[in-house]
A = this chain, B = another copy of it.
């Protein structure tokens, strides 16, 4: 088949990527859970995600690809390779969204993966290893915590039985919700949870502003930065706003303001790679004429370099204590995730493939977490990014250009062909 092709196999597959089909399918998928604000609400293992699985399954079966589902609900679409003994190349992302999410986060990676399979078919390219597209279960963690659940179970980092027992806020378990999804979608034969892979590559919108700012259509992702979460509680004493002199106050709000100020100074980064966010900030009792007695705030700290992240995170507790003035302060770490470094051969392959297609490419780390971070622990793994408008994501106004999405899918086709040793 491919031996008749006038183009090398990778280029032939890329040439058969159909940007219009990809864009049309993104629109059809976005209709499932569409919100009034132009976004998508498609929670993990809910009714809209069931419809999305059915739609993807229909597209896959129309081309004769096999569809399977593992024990945690990860959905696999498989195009066979020539060599049954070669472990497959896996590519994909997720179909679930944030409660008020966008049209591209996750959806692009799944449909770009399906587009690669279609392009291999359309270009009559045969590969040595099978190529498998995946839709991971519950990447977002909006309904069931933690997120990136499907890939964590696949990679053996979370036990299947534990994951199935996790409940949503209504008391519904992952296991119960998954049983309903499988029954109602009718998509996918059962398969084993976890199997050998030769590589994993995930395409995603950047969710940050760097590619757009650089006017570059493709990013070769070097890794996923490490993440540390802290919860800080500042305890003062409530009092009457009209009567208590400043010198006698133990004002939790004023101390918390000083603490955040001090943290910002200590966590300043001239390179602008350290990400420091106070996202939640709650002040009690919250009455205009009562001096606040308690403030709780969160710290989200990220950096791609494990040593830098540790060094900076180690400064937090002491800085909080030193700046809290007359109030007491307690600092608790709630989440810690080490930086992930992607396989350098795949980073280079993404760059090389982009160049071959005449596309500019920028190396950058991922600011957000992804299923690829679990996969990096079990097989050579990489990611490629495409720009999104204003770097906005996890919002209904998330937006991306059809041309950039098609370019990303073409690079993905090249990368997958090379990894699966296409002929």
- Known A-B contacts A289-B300, A298-B288, A391-B240; the reply to A245 vs B209 at CB < 8 A is yes
Tell me the smallest distance from the CB of A94 to a CB of chain B, in Å: 16
Q: A279 is contacted by which of B241, B260, B274 (Cβ under 8 Å)?
A: B241
Report A238-262 CB contacts with B as 1/0, cut-off 8 Å.
1111111111100101100110110
Tell me the smallest distance from the CB of A169 to a CB of chain B, in Å: 15
Q: Which of A71-79, A154-162, A185-193, A392-400 contacts B (4 or more CB under 8 A)?
A: A392-400
**Does A277 make an interface contact (CB < 8 A)?**
yes
Residues 254-290 (chain A) with a chain B CB within 8 angstroms:
254, 257-258, 260-261, 264, 269, 272-283, 286-290
Instruction: Say whether A391 contacts B292, CB under 8 Å.
Output: no
Instruction: Say whether A292 contacts B279, CB under 8 Å.
Output: yes
Q: A302 — nearest CB in chain B belongs to which residue? A: B242
Instruction: Say whether B239 contacts A392, CB under 8 Å.
Output: yes
Tell me the smallest distance from the CB of A294 to a CB of chain B, in Å: 12
Report A164-207 CB contacts with B as 1/0, cut-off 8 Å.
00000000000000000000000000000000000000000011
Report A361-376 CB contacts with B as 1/0, cut-off 8 Å.
0000011110000000
Instruction: Say whether A300 contacts B279, CB under 8 Å.
Output: no
Inter-chain pairs besides A242-B367, A258-B261, A279-B288, 13 sampled, C-beta below 8 Å? A206-B243, A207-B243, A225-B242, A227-B242, A241-B275, A241-B277, A242-B302, A242-B366, A243-B367, A244-B275, A247-B272, A253-B278, A279-B290
Tell me the smallest distance from the CB of A226 to a CB of chain B, in Å: 10
Instruction: Say whether A243 contacts B368, CB under 8 Å.
Output: yes
**Does A114 make an interface contact (CB < 8 A)?**
no
Counting contact residues on chain A (CB < 8 A from B), the size range is 35 or more
Q: A279 — nearest CB in chain B belongs to which residue? A: B288
Tell me the smallest distance from the CB of A37 to a CB of chain B, in Å: 13
- Listed A/B pairs (9) with beta-carbon separation below 8 Å: A208-B242, A225-B242, A241-B302, A243-B275, A244-B367, A246-B272, A253-B279, A279-B286, A289-B300
Residues 288-305 (chain A) with a chain B CB within 8 angstroms:
288-292, 295, 298, 300, 302
A254: which B residues are within 8 A, CB to CB?
A: 260, 264, 278
Instruction: Say whether A207 contacts B240, CB under 8 Å.
Output: yes
